[in-house]
C-alpha cells in the first residue's frame, strides 16, 4: 500500500539540496491485524506541525519511517476480539494515534501520555490503510465530515490545553504562535470566557483569523516589542495565562516577563531537543510565583472533543488538500508557511 515515508533526514527548508530532508510515497506491506485491532481505510491525514521536525529526526529514528497521525477514515476490518466499543465495518472514525498499554506504571497512575510502551504500535497514518487498537478509535458523529474529522487529534490538544490552563472566566490570556494549535486554542479560550485575549503572530492573515475566532487583540512580533505591547494591553499587569504554541526559540525567552504575578505559563509546542532556556528563578518563580509547565499529547480528551467539536470553526483548516501521490509537494507547501493546515487525501470517499 502507499505510505508517506521519510527517506532522508534533514530540514525540509535547507537551501542545500544535498542536505535537505526528503519524504516520498513508498509501497509498504499492509499492517497485520491483531485480535483487538481495527483496520481503517484512511480518507484524510493532516500534516502536523511536528511532522517536519520528525523529518529532522528529533526522535533519532532510523530511516525509512512513516509519518502521519491526524487521521480519519472508514473501518474495513475488525479483529475477532475488537468488540468492546461496538465498532463495526463501515463506521466512519478518527482517533488517537497512540496506543497506551494500560499496565505500565504511568498508565496505572493516570499518566497515559508517559506510557512506556506507547510507541511500540505507532503505525503511520499517512497511508492508504492504518491498523489501530480498538481503544484508539472513535466513531464520528454523523454531522461531521471525514475532511473535518482528521482534525480530531489537534482539536483534542486544544481541549487538553484548557485542562492545563484550568482557566477562570475573565482571566487575561495571551497565545504565542498562530499555527493550527494556536488558532484552535484561541477559539477554545474564547469559549471559556477569556478577557484581553491576544494572539502573537507575524503572519497577517493568521492574525486576521485570530480576530475572527474571538481574539480581542493581535501583536505582530516583527513590528513591535512583545513585552511592551503586552504590558500596554494589560495596564501593566501582564497576562494571567501565557501559552506558547509557536515552538520558536526566539519567542520563548520573553514569555515569563509578560506573565502576571502568580500567573501560569504553558509551553505547549515541540522545541528543538538540544535547546536550553535561561530562567531567573528568583524573579519568575520565587518573587513572581509563576506556575510553569509544558504539554505533550492529549491522552484522555477525545470523547469530550467530539462533544465540543462542532463549535470550532474549521473551514480554513480543511481548504488545502493534496492527493497522497503529491505528498512531496504537500510538504513543500507545509513548510512554506502559506497555509494553516494541509490535508493528504489517502483514499477518495467524498
The confidence score (pLDDT) of residue 58 equals: 82
The confidence score (pLDDT) of residue 121 equals: 61
**Portions of the chain given CATH number 3.40.50.720:** 163-294
> What torsion do the CA atoms of 4, 10, 11, 15 make, to the nearest 10 degrees?
-110
CATH number of 163-294: 3.40.50.720
**CA within 13 Å, CB half, 279:** 16
What is the gyration radius of the CA atoms in the chain, in angstroms? Answer: 20
The confidence score (pLDDT) of residue 61 equals: 86
In degrees, rounded to 5, the angle at the alpha carbon of residue 12 between the alpha carbons of residues 11 and 18 is: 75
Q: Within a 10 A sphere around the Cβ of 17, how many other Cβ atoms?
A: 8
Beta bridge partner(s), residue 81: none
Exposed e or buried b for every residue in 242-266, given b needs 16+ CB within 10 A?
A: bbbbbbeeebbebbbbbbbeebbbb
The confidence score (pLDDT) of residue 114 equals: 95
Instruction: List the chain pLDDT tens, one digit each, 350 residues.
Output: 999 999 999 999 999 999 999 999 999 999 999 999 999 999 999 999 989 989 998 888 889 999 999 999 999 999 999 999 999 999 999 999 999 999 999 999 999 999 999 876 668 999 999 999 999 999 999 999 999 999 999 999 999 999 999 999 999 999 999 999 999 999 999 999 999 999 999 999 999 999 999 999 999 999 999 999 999 999 999 999 999 999 999 999 999 999 999 999 999 999 888 899 999 999 999 999 999 999 989 999 999 999 999 999 999 999 999 999 999 999 999 999 899 999 999 999 86
Strands 195-200 and 172-176: parallel
Query: Which grid coordinates belong to 223?
Result: 513590528
The confidence score (pLDDT) of residue 128 equals: 98
Q: Give pTM, 2 decimals.
A: 0.95
Options 3.30.465.10, 3.30.420.40, 3.40.50.1010, 3.90.180.10; CATH for 2-151+314-345 is 3.90.180.10
Length of the chain: 350
**Of all residues in the chain, what percent are helix, strand and coil, respectively (each to 5)?**
30, 25, 45
Which residue bears the cell 466499543? 85
The confidence score (pLDDT) of residue 120 equals: 61
**Portions of the chain given CATH number 3.90.180.10:** 2-151+314-345
Euclidean distance between CA atoms 27 and 75, whole angstroms: 21
Asked whether 250 and 186 are in contact (CB, 8 A), the reply is no
Amino acid at each position: 500500500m502507499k505510505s508517506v515515508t521519510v527517506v532522508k533526514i534533514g530540514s525540509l527548508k535547507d537551501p542545500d539540496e544535498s542536505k535537505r530532508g526528503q519524504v516520498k510515497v513508498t509501497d509498504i506491506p499492509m499492517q497485520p491485524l491483531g485480535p483487538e485491532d481495527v483496520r481503517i481505510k484512511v480518507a484524510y491525514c493532516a500534516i502536523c506541525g511536528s511532522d517536519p521536525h520528525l523529518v529532522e529526526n528529533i526522535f533519532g529514528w532510523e530511516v525509512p519511517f512513516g509519518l502521519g497521525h491526524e487521521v480519519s477514515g472508514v473501518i474495513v476490518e475488525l479483529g475477532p476480539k475488537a468488540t468492546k466499543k461496538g465498532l463495526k465495518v463501515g463506521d466512519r472514525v478518527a482517533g488517537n494515534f497512540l496506543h497506551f498499554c494500560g499496565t505500565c506504571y504511568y498508565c496505572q497512575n493516570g499518566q497515559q501520555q508517559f506510557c512506556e510502551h506507547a510507541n511500540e504500535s505507532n503505525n503511520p497514518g499517512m497511508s492508504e490503510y492504518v491498523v489501530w487498537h480498538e481503544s484508539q478509535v472513535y466513531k464520528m458523529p454523523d454531522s461531521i465530515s471525514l475532511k473535518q474529522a482528521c482534525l480530531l487529534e489537534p482539536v483534542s490538544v486544544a481541549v487538553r490545553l484548557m485542562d492545563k490552563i484550568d482557566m477562570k472566566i475573565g482571566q487575561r490570556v495571551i497565545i504565542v504562535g498562530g499555527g493550527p494549535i494556536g488558532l484552535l486554542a484561541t477559539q477554545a479560550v474564547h469559549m471559556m470566557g477569556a478577557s484581553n485575549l491576544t494572539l502573537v503572530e507575524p503572519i497577517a492573515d493568521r492574525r486576521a483569523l485570530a480576530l475572527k475566532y474571538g481574539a480581542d487583540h493581535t501583536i505582530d512580533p516583527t513590528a513591535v516589542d512583545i513585552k511592551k505591547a503586552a504590558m500596554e494591553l494589560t495596564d501593566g499587569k501582564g497576562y494571567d495565562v501565557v501559552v506558547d504554541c509557536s515552538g520558536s526559540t526566539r519567542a520563548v525567552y520573553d514569555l515569563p516577563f509578560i506573565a502576571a504575578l502568580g500567573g501560569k505559563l504553558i509551553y505547549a509546542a515541540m522545541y528543538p531537543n538540544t535547546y536550553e532556556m535561561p530562567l531567573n528563578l528568583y524573579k519568575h518563580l520565587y518573587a513572581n510565583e509563576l506556575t510553569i509547565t509544558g504539554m505533550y499529547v492529549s491522552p484522555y480528551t477525545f470523547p469530550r472533543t467530539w462533544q465540543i467539536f462542532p463549535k470550532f470553526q474549521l473551514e480554513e483548516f480543511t481548504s488545502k488538500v493534496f492527493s497522497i501521490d503529491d505528498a512531496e509537494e504537500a510538504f513543500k507547501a507545509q513548510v512554506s508557511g502559506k497555509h494553516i493546515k494541509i490535508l493528504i487525501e489517502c483514499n477518495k470517499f467524498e
